[in-house]
Chain A
Amino acid sequence: MAEALGVVAESLAGDRARAARTVLDQVVLPGEELLLPEQEDAEGPGGAGERPLRLNAGTRSRGRVVCGPGLRRCGDRLLVTKCGRLRHKEPGGSSGGGVYWVDSQQKRYVPVKGDHVIGIVTAKSGDIFKVDVGGSEPASLSYLAFEGATKRNRPNVQVGDLIYGQFVVANKDMEPEMVCIDSCGRASGMGVIGQDGLLFKVTLGLIRKLLAPDCEILQEVGKLYPLEIVFGMNGRIWVKAKTIQQTLILANILEACEHMTADQRKQIFSRLAES
């Protein structure tokens, strides 16, 4: 009962602030304010201070809510700063609240710590390589940040090489730094990407879609031709198949995946498999 009254009070106030859980999976625009579940109770017509007695108080987690990409804290509310679909992930363990974020489609990459990206080496100066990752500044990569690299045993990296690495420092105030080893000192797939192959750019949303655990596009592509593929979270994909023609076909398929429905994709795959 109190919940229904709370919702009515919000709609009378115009589209000032809506409860986050009522807008999940809908398109939100910059400038909208969202209320977290805790504030919904306080915003009811009872006024500040009156909390309705909840019989199922256990379901409302009063833990910390994490504000993901596209959202900013504005007082005790969330302000939407990018256009996209609002998503929520329930907390797995004991940390309450979960994560809210906005799934937006954009082409421009902003470095984020921990992201695995494909970069192009643009300069070698002393002990540091400058790597273009598609952000506003080139990232720096130390020559010691490769598996088995020592001062005497330098890695064989030339200008123009493709590097697959992850960010250890990436914030708006500093130049991003990347490394090609994980925390244990092993390469685990990172490093210089081999010869040949094709590097092309797609939108960031497509990369996330392809890397989602339940995405069948990759398996279908793998059944088509044997291939090597590397996904960078900065919108770059490197693909290599046995012949140049196969490589180009794969690149075109992956670029077109963004706009095709599942049926169209299956049609194209079956047609290619026949030929």
Chain B
Amino acid sequence: MEGAMQADAKIRSESGTESGPRGPACSLRHFACEQNLLSRPDGSASFLQGVAEKSRERLIRNTCEAVVLGTLHPRTSITVVLQVISDAGSLLACCLNAACMALVDAGVPMRALFCGVTCALNSDGTLVLDPTAKQEKEARAILTFALDSVERKLLMSTTKGLYSDAELQQCLAAAQAASQHVFRFYRESLQRRYSKS
């Protein structure tokens, strides 16, 4: 995992990196809550448990910032709200796809589309794309990539676990091939939407 690439590697140690009450009876992580932070909906709240969620939001935000033409909207804040309805594995990739579709639906000007693809590496070296939650738990390493639609360039990568340099390249190539399917699906679903009008 050394080398010139920038990967946001999260290594979970046994003791954890979170702060919070860790007495004998209470084994919960640190909480943070904010209410009424959106003005349009009748109610809104933000609940942070642990530190990992902040990092996921930061990853999605950095990907969106790389693709959205922010210079056309100075002094304007673009808020993306992602609600997890169910988590069946590859959550970050799913969030990235949802964020891209939402930005397209809102008419925010973008220089390309982006998609997220998750790769899981098993202990025997086999590669599984878009792993389920069970496969993620048993995998030796999980790598999530965000790729753009113009030249399948890498926008963001986050990895967890142990893997070699060659395995990283292999996963990246597999993810780039898989992103074709995702972008084709985007195109079909957007064409269906515009064919109704």
Q: Do A and B come from one complex?
A: yes
Partner of B106, one of A70, A81, A106: A106
Query: Known interface pairs A81-B110, A81-B111, A205-B197. Does A31 touch B73 (Cβ–Cβ under 8 Å)?
Result: no
Q: How far is the CA of A24 from the CA of B156 in the complex (A)?
A: 34
Q: How far is the CA of A105 from the CA of B196 in the complex (A)?
A: 12
Residues of B close to A137: CB separation below 8 A: 75
Contact in complex: A173, B110 (CB < 8 Å): no
Within 8 A of B (CB), among A197-248: 205, 209
Partner of A31, one of B72, B74, B150, B196: B150
Q: Is the interface of A mostly helix, strand, loop or mixed?
A: loop
Within 8 A of A (CB), among B40-58: none
Contact in complex: B112, A31 (CB < 8 Å): yes
Is A122's beta carbon under 8 Å from chain B?
Answer: no
Contact in complex: B106, A172 (CB < 8 Å): no
User: What is the size, in residues, of chain B's interface with A at 8 Å between Cβ atoms?
Assistant: 26
Is B148's beta carbon under 8 Å from chain A?
Answer: yes
Is A107's beta carbon under 8 Å from chain B?
Answer: yes
Is B113's beta carbon under 8 Å from chain A?
Answer: yes
Is A82's beta carbon under 8 Å from chain B?
Answer: yes
Residues of B close to A45: CB separation below 8 A: none
Contact in complex: B74, A172 (CB < 8 Å): yes
Contact in complex: B194, A105 (CB < 8 Å): yes
Q: How far is the CA of A154 from the CA of B194 in the complex (A)?
A: 47
Is A30's beta carbon under 8 Å from chain B?
Answer: yes
Proximity string of chain B (168-185) to chain A, C-beta cutoff 8 Å, 1 when within and 0 when not: 000000000000000000
Contact in complex: B148, A30 (CB < 8 Å): no
Q: How far is the CA of A30 from the CA of B78 in the complex (A)?
A: 18
Contact in complex: A108, B106 (CB < 8 Å): yes
Q: How far is the CA of A79 from the CA of B191 in the complex (A)?
A: 19
Query: Known interface pairs A31-B111, A107-B106. Does A259 touch B73 (Cβ–Cβ under 8 Å)?
Result: no
Query: Known interface pairs A105-B197, A136-B75, A258-B197. Does A30 touch B190 (Cβ–Cβ under 8 Å)?
Result: no
Q: How far is the CA of A84 from the CA of B107 in the complex (A)?
A: 9
Partner of A83, one of B148, B190, B196: B190
Give 9 CB contacts A-B under 8 Å: A27-B194, A30-B110, A81-B109, A82-B110, A83-B194, A105-B107, A136-B75, A173-B74, A205-B197
Q: Which B residues have a C-beta under 8 Å from some C-beta of A?
A: 69, 72-76, 104-107, 109-113, 148-150, 186-187, 190-191, 193-194, 196-197
